[in-house]
A and B are shown apart, each in its own frame.
Chain A
Amino acid sequence: MLRFLLRRTLTIIPLTLVMAVMMFFLMRLLPGDPALNILGPEATPEEIETLKIEMCLDQPVYYQLANWLGGIVTGDLGKSFYHDMPVSKMLFTALIPTLKLTLLSLLFGILIGTGAGVISAIKQDSLVDRIIVVISTSFMAVPHMWLGLLLVLLFGVVLGWLPVAGYESFKDGGVVSLKYLILPILAMSTAEIGILTKMVRARMLDVLHQDYVLTAKSKGLPFWKVILKHAFKNTLITVVTLSGMMLAGLIGGAVITENIFAIPGMGRLIVTSIVRRDYLVVQSAIMLITFLYLFLNFLVDIIYAFLDPRVSYGSLKG
């Protein structure tokens, strides 16, 4: 087990490193002079020269690369060209809303998706099952941004129950601050709920037809015990596997959702920085969000290994 953990951890490090180098060179490949891009065409040559020195652009490339890689380790990622603020500080403030949004959506999606999938499987071919299948199939096809806008239109504009956009940190607003997150979470988790419901239903139906479930039934165990102790437990593994996959969708969803609801998270930071050509921020934010994604997937793998005794830790290819 320990070897498996170690091995899995070690694969993340070179991957992040190669990614960091790749991001660095992508930025160098950009057309035009970064200093000129920031200052605009009216800048004097002296101003450009000063900014270049400030950004270490006058140094040789290997020095800049070492600087950037060293910065990743020490957490000093340089200053934003646009905001005159340390990038690491910007990233940190943006990280919290995104994490909150993503993890709450994941949790909500897992709860609803698993529940609906299990109910659907137990009541196979009933009216409830058919309705759940139709809803989950349509959920899978709903574009995040469209659903977000429709929810704003319905609950924010027409009914006026929830704020149209904005964000409040938990420290400032307490539980009330969650009201800003309700619509974004609904918009983000819908597609994931659809996929999860479908997969859990299929897995549950598989399990319900297995011999050991039949044995448990014929032993005269109460229905709920058969479902919970025997069938559901085995379905959970599917849920864990899928949550890794769902994270990919949720992070993409967060980028779009944050932009609709004006939530000051990573997605919004990346998009606004792309528009402002604040490349250092774009580069660092994408690095961070990717690292986070790899790390969360790593956690999913570990949970998976704990849950499923069939996973052999040695032979797993990182």
Chain B
Amino acid sequence: MNHAATHLEDMKTTEAKTVKKRRESGVKVLFRNPLAILSFLYLTGTGLMAVFAPWVAPYDPNYMDIDARFTAPGLQHWLGTDHLGRDVLSRMIHGARTTMGVSVAVVILSAFVGTSLGLISGFFRRADEIIMRVTDLLMAFPPLVGALAVMAFLGPGVENIVLALFLVMVPRVARITRGETLVLREMTFIKAAQMMKAGTGRIIFRHILPNAMSPLVVYFTLLFAGTIMAEAGLSFLGIGSPPEVPSWGIVLSEGRYYMRNAWWLTVMPGLAIFIAVLSCNLLGDGIRDVGDPRQYGRARK
């Protein structure tokens, strides 16, 4: 017994070493992928712009210069002005605050709550029944329609979007985490840890969670993309963020009536959403490839 235990302990340390080694090379593998680098740069750039919006934006996003209505993109206004003479670039930089802020909040909240629920669900039978029935109910609504229902009852507002999208995303995260947990807990190394009388907490946090992390991180990037789209969609429909708070969806929505004369009002905000979502997807693909052992063979050559 003692011998077996030391042997297992040995195996664990070697395993830990290889895992560490892999992780280091994992980041390297990711950044060998030029698309992943570009996506990462775009997203961090947008994020930084959102954080420092008041200092980065050339104009006040709500300042109306009536004389300069519908100015085409140029040196004065890089992305032109809208029907009230407001600077589109400034509105989009401030809009990134709403759009990115909502997405970050939703992803962090649903990642935290969803992962916890999934882990609990995968480990405790009785909690599983309850949690799964609740997720069934929440997932019965088609995603955007579920968010619409919540927004209909809460009214427009940035916090309300976060709540609505959180309710849409959280059951999905819980489901995926639960699936991963159920697979992992049948694995030999978990059985071994249980045999060694490791506590449930230790098993969950030291063994299950780190191993479930890589598919989850990929899922979170997709979630981020989905949230950007959903926020823009809700705001576009006029039931997302209130009109006085600029968001990419609001800019797009306001511009559509003037599409014939001012193409930039439609093209620019949409392009911002498109590239942000594309970046999330590409980053997710990159992270997935890192988790794919076939990539290692290729990278080592």
Chain A positions within 8 Å of B, measured between CB atoms, are: 15, 18-19, 22-23, 26-27, 29-30, 137-138, 140-146, 149-150, 152-153, 157, 247-249, 251-252, 255-256, 259-260, 270-271, 274-275, 279, 282, 286, 289-290, 293-294
Across the interface, do B236 and A145 meet the contact criterion of CB distance under 8 Å? yes
Across the interface, do A141 and B153 meet the contact criterion of CB distance under 8 Å? no
Across the interface, do A149 and B259 meet the contact criterion of CB distance under 8 Å? yes
Across the interface, do B266 and A150 meet the contact criterion of CB distance under 8 Å? yes
Q: Which listed residue, A30, A270, A275, A293, touches B153 by the CB 8 Å rule? A: A30
Whether B142 sits at the interface, judged by CB under 8 Å, is: yes
Across the interface, do A274 and B239 meet the contact criterion of CB distance under 8 Å? yes
Across the interface, do A256 and B153 meet the contact criterion of CB distance under 8 Å? no
Considering only CB atoms and an 8 Å cut-off, how many residues of chain B contact the other chain? 40
Query: A289 contacts which chain B residues (CB < 8 A)?
Result: 142, 145
Across the interface, do A271 and B239 meet the contact criterion of CB distance under 8 Å? yes
Of chain B, the residue at the smallest CB distance from A144 is B233
Whether B53 sits at the interface, judged by CB under 8 Å, is: no
Cα A290 to Cα B141 in complex, Å, equals 5
- Interface flags for B106-150 (1: CB within 8 Å of A; 0: not) read 000000000000000000000000000000110011111100110
Query: B163 contacts which chain A residues (CB < 8 A)?
Result: none
Across the interface, do B270 and A143 meet the contact criterion of CB distance under 8 Å? yes
Query: B239 contacts which chain A residues (CB < 8 A)?
Result: 271, 274-275
Query: A251 contacts which chain B residues (CB < 8 A)?
Result: 142, 144-145
Query: B233 contacts which chain A residues (CB < 8 A)?
Result: 143-145, 252, 255-256
Whether B260 sits at the interface, judged by CB under 8 Å, is: yes
Q: Which listed residue, A15, A137, A256, touches B236 by the CB 8 Å rule? A: A256
CB B265 to nearest CB in A, in angstroms, measures 10
Across the interface, do A252 and B143 meet the contact criterion of CB distance under 8 Å? yes
Cα A251 to Cα B143 in complex, Å, equals 9
Whether B92 sits at the interface, judged by CB under 8 Å, is: no
Across the interface, do A141 and B225 meet the contact criterion of CB distance under 8 Å? yes
Residue of B141, B152, B225, B256 most packed against chain A (CB within 10 A): B152
The 5 closest A-B pairs by CB, nearest first: A252-B144, A146-B270, A141-B278, A141-B277, A251-B142
CB A29 to nearest CB in B, in angstroms, measures 7
Query: B149 contacts which chain A residues (CB < 8 A)?
Result: 23, 26, 282, 286
Cα A141 to Cα B145 in complex, Å, equals 20
Q: Which listed residue, B143, B148, B273, B282, touches A286 by the CB 8 Å rule? A: B148
Q: Which listed residue, A22, A26, A142, A150, touches B137 by the CB 8 Å rule? A: A22
Whether B232 sits at the interface, judged by CB under 8 Å, is: yes
Other 4 A-B pairs with CB < 8 A, given A143-B277, A252-B233, A286-B141:
A140-B281, A255-B145, A256-B144, A290-B140
Query: A282 contacts which chain B residues (CB < 8 A)?
Result: 149, 152
Q: Which listed residue, A22, A150, A275, touches B270 by the CB 8 Å rule? A: A150
Query: A274 contacts which chain B residues (CB < 8 A)?
Result: 148, 151-152, 239
Cα A315 to Cα B260 in complex, Å, equals 57
Cα A31 to Cα B141 in complex, Å, equals 24
Query: A142 contacts which chain B residues (CB < 8 A)?
Result: 274
Cα A224 to Cα B236 in complex, Å, equals 46
Residue of B137, B153, B271 most packed against chain A (CB within 10 A): B153
Of chain B, the residue at the smallest CB distance from A147 is B270
Across the interface, do B281 and A141 meet the contact criterion of CB distance under 8 Å? yes
**5 CB-based A-B contacts, threshold 8 Å:** A141-B274, A143-B233, A145-B270, A150-B267, A255-B145
